[in-house]
């Protein structure tokens, strides 16, 4: 999973009917984590 694209890893776990839906939130999620991780 560490070498997989985030959306592929999420789809492997979630098995969403809309596998591409994760991609739209990837950057926002990364920004939020980075902001709080480095606080």
The answer to whether position 32 is within a domain reads yes
4, 10, 13, 19 alpha-carbon torsion, rounded to 10°: -110
Nearest-CA neighbor of 21 among 33, 9, 13, 11?
11
Residue 35: per-residue pLDDT:
93
The answer to whether position 1 is within a domain reads no
The answer to whether position 10 is within a domain reads yes
Digit-coded pLDDT (tens) for 1-39: 889 998 899 899 999 899 888 899 999 999 999 999 986
- Tally of domains within the chain: 1
The answer to whether position 15 is within a domain reads yes
First to last CA, the chain: 27
**What tokens appear for 28 in the block?**
């926002």
Q: Which domain holds residue 28?
A: 6-38
Residue 1: per-residue pLDDT:
82
pTM of the model as a whole: 0.62
């Amino acid at each position: 999973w560490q070498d997989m694209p985030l959306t592929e890893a999420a789809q492997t776990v979630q098995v969403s009917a809309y596998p591409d839906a994760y991609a739209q939130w990837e950057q926002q999620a990364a920004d939020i984590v980075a902001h709080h991780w480095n606080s």
